[in-house]
Structure 1
Amino acid sequence: MDSLIPILAIWALPVLLAITLHEAAHGYVARHFGDPTADLAGRITLNPLKHIDPVGTILVPAGILALTTLFGAGGILFGWAKPVPVNFGRLRNPKADMLWVAAAGPFVNLLMAVAWGLLFRIAATSEPGAYTLPMLKMADAGIQINAVLMVLNLLPIPPLDGGRIAVSLLPNRLAWRFARLEPYGFPILLVLLFTGILGTILWPLIAGFRYLLSTVLGF
């Protein structure tokens, strides 16, 4: 338990920011394209309390970290916030604008990964001090959770963001058929997760992204 507390302290802020800003971005872009639903619900905010899902934002990430720390076993660290309500029918051009609303979340995760990468470089090149190692670990955690959420959400499985991007890009007839998979999206993800297929798909992409980020930022 003593070793778990510092790990939770390091990961708490990156996970909270990654998940809540991801959701807020969807609402902000939806409002920009004509749907005020999230705005009227008070969900376009940086206040994490408006986005926290007790299970997805707290229990699931904490449970994965606990399993990894205590037993050396675990899976991909991920979680979710309360979905921001978006009425795609109220967008000015629903099918086309859906792409931008869906892409907003992963794009914000990309920006946060870059920001954490810059912090990692600053910490790595600073004079050693009491806060250097915790800063490095928190920055590394920020890169990791944002890379995971970005890559995971870009998978072309409705209702993930990648699935909605695919619906936006596909011709109308194919888009309609593909969108009908949405009720089965979460069970599909669970099957992929528990069979290990999800990790096999995601880890090379996450590792490639981290390598590219470290190369560009020079750390």
Structure 2
Amino acid sequence: MTVYTYALTLRDHPLRLDGLSGVGAPPTPLRTVLAGPLCAVVSDVSEEPHPTERDIGAHHDVQQRLMESGVVLPLRFGATALDDDAVRSALEEHADDYAERLRRLDGCVEYSLKAAQEARQPHDHIRDGEADSEAGSRPGELGVPDARPRLQALASGVTEAFRPFTREVKPGAPSGEDFLNVSFLVSSDQDELFIASEMSLAHQMGEDFDFRLHGPLPPYSFA
């Protein structure tokens, strides 16, 4: 058997995990490995886990439940150790570091914000049968030479607009049609303000932009 680790938390965490099942086929009961003030939530697996929809969902559900009732240091899917002694040794060896991370994340969740520019249909740039001379600077014209710097500047502006409501910000590399991919660490006392600000900004930007906010999430990007 291999030990699969979902998250680290503090020894006094309520650990309300009733009704949840872990990863693996078949899943084994969730349990804890303790070391000083730290606690690792684990289960046994018979082989290295594969990122199936079911197992990814189980991994996420455990972390979400832990996050609802206390601070959590979430681990990425697939974290395993040889046995309980290996988990306990890691907790002891990095005790100060883990305790500091948990302190920093206490009372916080992560929000992930992505944004893309909605492409316009060609006929949107035709007025009375004539080409619109300003088409090159209109939203949706991603192919014009100045589009990328303009969108990069826009991404920076959007990120800075949310900084007053966040503890930490971690930009990511946009993919596909997105020009913005950023994660925010948000404390519970700023949560409602952050969400309201995102809704307000998306409304101000209008239908030319597609904003997708995901959260609250376990703070993967800041763990």
Pairwise same-fold verdict (TM > 0.5): no
Q: Identify the structure with the greater strand proportion.
A: 2
Larger radius of gyration: 2
TM-score, normalising length: structure 2: 0.29
Q: TM-score, normalised by structure 1?
A: 0.30
